[in-house]
């Protein structure tokens, strides 16, 4: 089935140079001010946060012989422990959100050793913009009270294996509309890209809840042993 993409959202990068300077602690490296300013200006003009999604319906939900849930969407079977969250859920929104390809041509080897870190900060900011825009669009246009996201490869490897990622991309025409590429090892390019399934549910889900990684700077909820 060639699924029609419901929306292709593109927005401008936002974030002041003052914000960027604070994030990278530029006051500690005054000699790099000009380089930081040039990189920021490049990001401001070339980074274009983007997202795509489609509306899809779950055809079946079942538990396989090993006790792991599976759902079928458009003839594609997804399998993973965390898919138990989709029990009694009928509609999902496969999506890709990305920072955009605006900084992919920069060769960090020709810059100061801090530049790759700076680029990641700018791209992460762009990804957050894309995510927020998409979440706002879904909430307002589909009249959803609360949305959650399931993402292959997020959290522990046994929650929803990253090898399931190509199946999400299949529902989204391979991510071509936003210039995202998926490698054979299931890495997304640009690296600041996220994909998965949005769904509406009153109960809040965070992959952090079931991730055993200690001292994670991005942890949003305490760890729970039981899924």
Q: Cα dihedral sign for 50, 55, 56, 57?
A: positive
pTM over 0.85: yes
Cα 87-144-95 angle, rounded to 5 deg: 70
- Mean pLDDT over the full length of the chain: 89
Is 95 within 8 Å of 196 (Cβ atoms)? Answer: yes
Q: Which of 6, 3, 5, 24 has its CA nearest to residue 15?
A: 24
pLDDT at res. 141: 94
Low-confidence residues of the chain, pLDDT below 50? 219-220
pLDDT at res. 201: 84
- pLDDT tens digits for range 21-43: 999 999 999 999 999 999 999 99
pLDDT at res. 223: 53
pLDDT at res. 219: 40
pLDDT at res. 157: 81
pLDDT at res. 227: 59
pLDDT at res. 44: 94
Alpha-carbon separation of residue 165 from 26, 49, 183 (angstroms) = 37, 21, 10
pLDDT at res. 140: 94
Q: Which of 198, 117, 188, 101 has its CA nearest to residue 153?
A: 188
Alpha-helix residue ranges (DSSP H) falling in the chain: 17-23, 33-46, 115-141, 165-170
Q: Which domains does the chain have, with CATH numbers?
A: 7-210 (3.40.109.40)
């Amino acid at each position: 089935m060639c699924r029609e993409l419901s929306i292709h959202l593109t927005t401008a990068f936002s974030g002041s140079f003052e914000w960027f300077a604070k994030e990278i602690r530029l006051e500690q490296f005054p000699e790099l001010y000009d380089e930081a300013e040039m990189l920021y200006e490049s990001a401001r003009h070339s980074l274009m946060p983007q997202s795509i999604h489609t509306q899809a319906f779950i055809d079946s939900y079942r538990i396989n012989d090993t006790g792991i849930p599976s759902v079928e969407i458009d003839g594609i079977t997804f399998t993973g422990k965390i898919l138990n969250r989709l029990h009694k859920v009928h509609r999902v929104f496969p999506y890709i959100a990305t920072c955009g390809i605006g900084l992919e041509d920069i060769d960090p080897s020709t810059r100061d050793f801090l530049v790759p870190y700076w680029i990641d900060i700018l791209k992460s900011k762009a990804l957050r913009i894309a995510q927020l825009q998409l979440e706002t669009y879904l909430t307002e246009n589909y009249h959803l009270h609360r949305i959650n996201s399931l993402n292959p490869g997020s959290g522990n490897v046994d929650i929803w294996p990253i090898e399931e990622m190509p199946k999400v991309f299949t529902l989204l025409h391979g991510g071509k509309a936003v210039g995202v590429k998926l490698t054979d090892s299931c890495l997304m390019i640009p690296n600041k890209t996220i994909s998965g399934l949005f769904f509406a549910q009153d109960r809040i889900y965070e992959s952090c809840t079931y991730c055993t990684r200690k001292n994670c700077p991005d942890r949003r909820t305490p760890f729970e042993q039981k899924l």
